[in-house]
Amino acid sequence: MLALCWVSFFWGTTWIASKEGVKHMPALQLAAIRQFIGASIYIAFFLFKKTAWPKGKQWKTIFILSILNFVLSNGLSTWGVKYISSGLGAIIGAVFPLWIVIISFFKGERLSKGAVIGLLVSFGGVCLVFYDYLADFLKPDFRFGILLSLIATFTWAFGSMYTKKKAASFNPYFSLGLQMMISSVLLFAYTGATGTSISVTQIPAESWWSIAYLVIFGSVFTFIAFIYALQHLPAEVSSVYAYINPIVAVILGSVIFNEPLTIMIMIGGGVTLSGLYLVNKAMGKK
């Protein structure tokens, strides 16, 4: 339970750290540096443990997951909070189970009544959250940030489904470090080729502190706690973090960055999370 509390709080704070970091440097470069350092720590640990390297077709799976989970999902969500509030980014990030339901439907799977109700409730909650942001939709940057965040949740849903399908064929935890390393190389290549990166010496201390926080608390300690919680708690209990992370991000975003925290955002966020609970409950039963 302590591990779960750690995950619930600290993964919520990573949205704040990302928001602070991208204020002072290109977002994709920040994501690349974070992933490179985190990957180095993961890979060094598993090399020390003399874990077997993936073989043959396993590398194809790892490469696909690196694109879905880290280049697109992590990279775009980090880029997105440059243009929208960290709290709003966290709420959008939490709705990825809705994409799983929608993808499952288009794959021909039959949806339960609970999943459909949860989908509708969550959609209604998101509409309430955006009520206070209607005027912001006139701003191109805001619309761009929302689009990036939505694509990030969509690719995370695909990545989650693909991981579930393929995880039994290789060590999924060692694979995380390899995914992050591959992703960091691709992101470094993209930012270098497009000229959207800055010199390492130009990165201010604020961004380095954000990167350090994201690596230590976002990629290393919190993921260890997450795995420990998964191993020792029922799935329906260990998944509670997904509902607490956005609450932490919204509250801290309001306190630290003076981001809006209105009655409509609180009600809409609560309705959205309630709908997500119904979706997860229905999917869990299945």
Percent over 70 (pLDDT), the chain: 95
CA 203, 257, 126, 215 dihedral sign is positive
- Average pLDDT (229-242) is 71
User: pLDDT at position 170, please?
Assistant: 67
Do residues 97 and 283 touch, judged by C-beta distance below 8 A?
yes
Do residues 275 and 122 touch, judged by C-beta distance below 8 A?
yes
Q: Is the pLDDT of residue 78 over 90?
A: yes
User: pLDDT at position 190, please?
Assistant: 95
Q: Is the pLDDT of residue 52 over 80?
A: yes
Q: Residue 95: pLDDT band by 50, 70, 90 thresholds?
A: confident
Q: Residue 207: pLDDT band by 50, 70, 90 thresholds?
A: very high
User: pLDDT at position 114, please?
Assistant: 80
User: pLDDT at position 33, please?
Assistant: 95
109 CB burial (10 A radius; 0-12, 13-18, 19+): exposed
- Average pLDDT (67-74) is 92
- Average pLDDT (199-227) is 89
Closest CA to 124 of 240, 235, 278, 284: 278
Which residue did the predictor score with more confidence, 217 or 131?
217
Number of domains in the chain: 1
Q: Residue 126: pLDDT band by 50, 70, 90 thresholds?
A: confident
pTM assigned to the model: 0.84
User: pLDDT at position 18, please?
Assistant: 92
User: pLDDT at position 85, please?
Assistant: 86
Which range is least confidently modeled, 10-19, 147-156, 157-166, 201-210? Answer: 157-166
Q: Which domain holds residue 147?
A: 2-285
Q: Residue 167: pLDDT band by 50, 70, 90 thresholds?
A: low
- Average pLDDT (230-237) is 70
User: pLDDT at position 284, please?
Assistant: 65
Mean pLDDT (the chain) is: 85
Backbone torsions φ then ψ of 137, nearest 5 degrees? -65, -15
23 CB burial (10 A radius; 0-12, 13-18, 19+): middle
Do residues 20 and 249 touch, judged by C-beta distance below 8 A?
no
Q: Residue 235: pLDDT band by 50, 70, 90 thresholds?
A: low
